[in-house]
Every structure is written in C-alpha cells, then in structure tokens.
Amino acid sequence: MPAPDAAEQTVYVESSALLAALLEHDVAALRVLRSARRYVTSALTFAEANRAVVRARVSGRLTAVQERAAVRALRTFERRCDVVLVSDTILARAGYPFPVEPVRTLDAIHLATAEILGEPPQLVTILTRDVRVRDNATAMGHPVA
C-alpha cells in the first residue's frame, strides 16, 4: 500500500529540513511544508534554527535584512505547528539504541519525539535532510520527505 501523501498526514519537521527551507529556499522542503495538513516539531528545532540563523549572519552568509526575514519565517512556522517539549520521556528514549547507529544526541531527540507522538509510523512523514535521521526514520517505518 502506498504511503498517504503529505496532505493526508502529519509531517514531523526536523531542523535540517526547516533550515534548508529558511536559508536555502529548498524547493522540495518548501513544497512539503506548504502541503501538509499538520506540522509537528520538537522545541529543540527552534533552538537549533535560531543558532543557525545567528551563525549564518555572523559568518556573512546572511545580511541583517535576510536574518530578520529568516527569524520572521521561523516565528510564523512556530505559530503554525505543534511544538513538542523536550520531556524526560523523550530524553530517556533518546538514550536507547535506534535501528541504525551511530546516532548523534540531537538527532536521537528528534527521532524520539516523532516516535512519542502516538501515531502509527506510516502516518508520520519525517521531513529531513540528515542522512542519519532519514535512515532511522525509514527503519522505524516512517515515510521520509
């Protein structure tokens, strides 16, 4: 049975994909973000994204105007999605093995957050550009965009 399209299911947005959409205007990520009925992400995503925007400005990749636009887009996304706090339960799950190791700590927190949503994996698409997150999400039964 084919996976439901993004408009029919929840999309868990991992930091790398959100940053690709915000800073690189990644067409594929933007398409998924525009078509999903429900977005979910970890509170961790906003810490990672804000730091990436600051780093991009300080390193000269973004002008001050581009930085403000990225921050506004990030705030808009935050208002439109369900944000899952990094709980003790998520941290505990992140400490255990995943199907494809090694997994970095922040990636494990993203994977644990998606797992803890309580929806069958096939109904939660993981939007990511990170190969470790992608490989684990696939092994866990999630469609990946």
**pLDDT number for residue 5:** 52
> What one-letter code names the amino acid at 130?
D
**pLDDT number for residue 2:** 47
Distances (CA, A) of 68 to 23, 53, 57, 121: 12, 9, 10, 36
User: d(Cα 7, Cα 38) in Å, to the nearest integer?
Assistant: 8
Residue stretches of the chain with pLDDT short of 70: 1-8
- 6-139, what's its fold? Rossmann fold (3.40.50)
**pLDDT number for residue 60:** 96
Helix axes 105-115, 43-58, angle to 10 degrees: 140
Q: What angle do CA 23, 27, 29 make, to 5 degrees?
A: 75
State phi, psi for 79 to the nearest 5 degrees: -70, -30
**pLDDT number for residue 1:** 39
**pLDDT number for residue 8:** 64
Residue keyed to tokens 């700590």: 105
